[in-house]
Structure 1
Amino acid sequence: MSIQSGQFDITKIRTLAGNPYPCSSFAEFVCNETSHRPGHSHPENIDVSLSSDLNPAIINKMVFYGESPEDLWYNLERSINHLSSPSPYQRKAIKRFRTLKDRYLHSKPLKALENEKMFRGFYRAFDDIFFFNSLLGLCEIAVCPPGSMGAKLGATHRVGCTVIPDGYVNLIAIQDTTERYTEASRAFRLNDYLETLLHEMLHAYFRVYTCGCSASCVGRQEQMIGSTGHGMAWMWTALRIEEVTEPLLGVRLDMALGDFSFEDDAYREAIPVDVRRKWGVDN
């Protein structure tokens, strides 16, 4: 995988359609201690009704930077477990995924894999299949020239982005690998791109919604998400996604659980050995 994703910094000026937008307006959409509802616990539980027909899931309340990682993890696990008996809506998205994959592997003339339109199509399919539409319209996707990101995987790239319509709260930048995989098959390269995209969408899900508005929320975030995003909640969910991809999509997608090694030594050693073995990272 060649990955780099960007998270938004609410201290920076946002951009909307390429024009500066004051961060004070952006901040209205982000959880903070003064926005908590009196008499209600914080973070409040997410209210998600998973799809049982042709319609997407109904999300009654999800706050940017306003949810607990445990609740985000729980609801994403529910969505993935729901795939044991996919709804018509999810089956439609799975069919869309297979059609899109076949088109980029076999349709003549062959289209370049390194194009943002292709990634946006797979992004929408993955969002419908796994993420109960919680990432709809939230991420920009950019394909970067070969070698432009450097060698460090997962390095943060800060960008101007926004949650207002026509803007984005997260950037997923995927590196063009044509120079790296000169002898690889087209199917291998496409799968590698899809693995990178799905890996980063899972980061985006936790990054966009996990609350960090207070010291207690930041502590919970560090415990469950880790310092690089490969903490306990991400790892368990990535493992579940990886387990269902082949029976569901007809291709196994590696979620790169080995990236757990990016977490600091103290965090990794605090995870019980039997848990690390289940993740396949006991080393």
Structure 2
Amino acid sequence: MALLPEPIPVHVLSPFSQAFSKMRMKAYAETHLGASGLRFKENLIKAFIEYVRSQDEICCGRPEPSPEGIVVAWWKKQKHRHIAGLPQGRLYPKLKRRSHESAYLAEVTCHYITDKDADLNLIQKKALQRWEKVKNELMDSMAIKDASLIADGHGIIQSVISIFNDLFLLGALRRVKFDWIREAEGVPDMALGYGSDSSIQLHPTSLNSDPEVSLAVSRLSTLLHEMIHAFLAQFTCSSCKKLWHGRDWQVLAKRIEEVAPGLLGFRAALGRFDGLIYDLKHGIEKLPSMHDVLHYNFEQVLPTDELYGEGAPSKLVEDIPTKLVKSRRLSW
């Protein structure tokens, strides 16, 4: 009998929730009736940036990545372990579970991620070759409404996890089991994915509400989203671990979004903005600094202005409000 997933914590809405309602109203006011949902999303991101700028004097600072050892806890007298180097002769850097400073781990991993052929190491080149062999068939098979009906779906997703692990996560992610989220297990229908240091689950039918995103791309983007959570959960030390959508998760997700079109052949949308908004509304994360928000560049996953013209295949702005945070992550 399969074990049930850990109970999903219930979080009380924070004061930010009321402020976000005002941002949404402002975005509506600035979006013409009948305009695309993407235009509304763009205006909402702008309203959020304006809010962060107005609150910047009270935002907490974020630790900068540092190769120097940092004491994890004064009573343990233990220092972070730092990565000796990027993969060259060996398959992956030697990482120790729950031992690395999160900002430094994110920085090194971002340096590893590249879409330039000349900079790909051997393990990445082999992963890319594997992806090219399965990409077309995979995208077709994952385009059905209920992904749990895919023949050998578990095996297919496990192989994709292996490919993405080698391409983006130093080839270091270990022993992560995949399964489909089952509503009978108590996971809300709104949850697109669930991730931990030992498992990744995707909802077989619940998808990103963006009409521009295909079923296959939505599922693969959610898979990447959860893989980053699993990676940080495995290798970040307990003292500085950030389990939700904070700075270290954001910079890794942003970097993958940047290179995905060149490597994978599609524009990945990892739900960075919606994830952060959910965390802020429920008091899980503190408001980021203006510097961090500008660095996150949430607009990078939105299509160019040409897609906002007449005939753009998108939902009307009236349909958007109840689905803004659908890509949030409900685990941890």
CA distances 1:224-260 after superposition (whole Å, capped 9, x unpaired): x2xx520011111111110010012211111111111
Alignment partner, residue 14 of structure 1: none
**What's the counterpart of residue 161 of structure 2?**
123
For residue 171 of structure 2, what is the aligned residue in structure 1? 133
Q: CA deviation at 1:118?
A: 1.1
More strand by share: 1
Matches within 5 A, 1:97-246: 97-105=131-139, 112=150, 115-135=153-173, 137-145=174-182, 149-153=187-191, 169-177=197-205, 188-212=214-238, 217=239, 220-221=240-241, 225=242, 228-246=243-261
Change (3 A) 1:249 1:150: same
What are the ranges of 5 or more consecutive residues in structure 2 without an aligned counterpart? 8-71, 300-332
Rounded Cα–Cα distance in structure 1 between residues aligned with 2:97 and 2:215: 33
Per-residue CA distance 1:132-165 (angstroms, 9 max, x = gap) = 1110x3210002346862145378788xxxxxxx
- Between the two proteins, the alignment pairs up a number of residues equal to 220
The separation in 2 between residues aligned to 1:269 and 1:88, in whole angstroms, is 39
2:111 corresponding residue in structure 1: 78
Q: Report the CA distance between 1:203 and its aligned residue.
A: 0.5
Q: Could you tell me how far 1:275 is from its partner in structure 2?
A: 2.7
Does the Cα contact within 8 Å between 1:6 and 1:156 map onto a contact in 2? no
* Contact map agreement 1:51 1:87 (CA 8 A) in 2: yes
Percent identity over the alignment?
18
1:70 deviates by: 1.9
- Three-state SS of the structure 2 residue aligned to 1:199 is helix
Please state how far the C-alpha of 1:204 moved relative to its aligned partner. Answer: 0.5
The 1:89/1:44 distance shift into structure 2, 3 A limit, reads closer
The code of the aligned residue for 2:214 comes to: F
Would you say 1:264 and 2:280 are equivalent positions? yes
Match of 2:294 in 1: 277
Q: Retained in 1: the 8 A contact 2:182–2:203?
A: yes
Q: CA deviation at 1:130?
A: 0.7
Name the larger-Rg structure: 2
| C-alpha contact 1:238 1:257 (8 A) present in aligned 2 | yes
Provide the C-alpha distance between the structure 1 equivalents of 2:269 and 2:195, rounded to a whole number of angstroms.
Answer: 23
Offset of residue 126 of structure 1: 0.4
Alignment partner of 1:230: what SS? coil
Write out per-residue CA displacement over residues 27-70 of structure 1, whole angstroms, 9 at most, x where no aligned residue.
xxxxx979x7x8xx601212233237xx623x23x221121102
Question: CA separation of 1:153/1:83 partners in 2, compared to 1, >3 Å: closer, same or farther?
Answer: farther
State whether residues 115 and 263 of structure 2, in contact with CA within 8 Å, keep that contact through their aligned partners in structure 1: no
Quick one: distance in 1 between partners of 2:151 and 2:297? 30
Whole-Å separation in 1 of the counterparts to 2:180 and 2:111: 31
Where does residue 67 of structure 1 map in the other structure?
100
Instruction: Please tell me the residue identity of whatever aligns with 2:109.
Output: L
Distance 1:238 1:112 in 2: 27
Deviation at 1:189, TM superposition (A): 1.5
Q: CA RMSD in A?
A: 3.8
Does the 8 Å CA contact 1:236/1:279 hold for their aligned counterparts? yes
**2:91 is equivalent to residue 56 of structure 1:** yes
Please tell me the residue identity of whatever aligns with 1:43. H
Q: One-letter code of the match for 2:226?
A: E
CA distance in 2, matches of 1:209, 1:268: 20
Distance 1:138 1:33, change over 3 A: farther
| Normalised TM-score (structure 2) | 0.56
Give 3-state SS (helix, strand or coil) of 2:113's partner.
helix
Q: Any idea what the Cα deviations from partners look like across 1:108-139, whole Å, max 9, x if unmatched?
A: xx98278111111110100111111110x321
The TM-score normalised by the length of structure 1 is 0.64
Q: Which residue of 1 aligns with 2:83?
A: 46
Q: Tell me how far apart the structure 2 counterparts of residues 230 and 271 of structure 1 sit (CA, whole Å).
A: 11
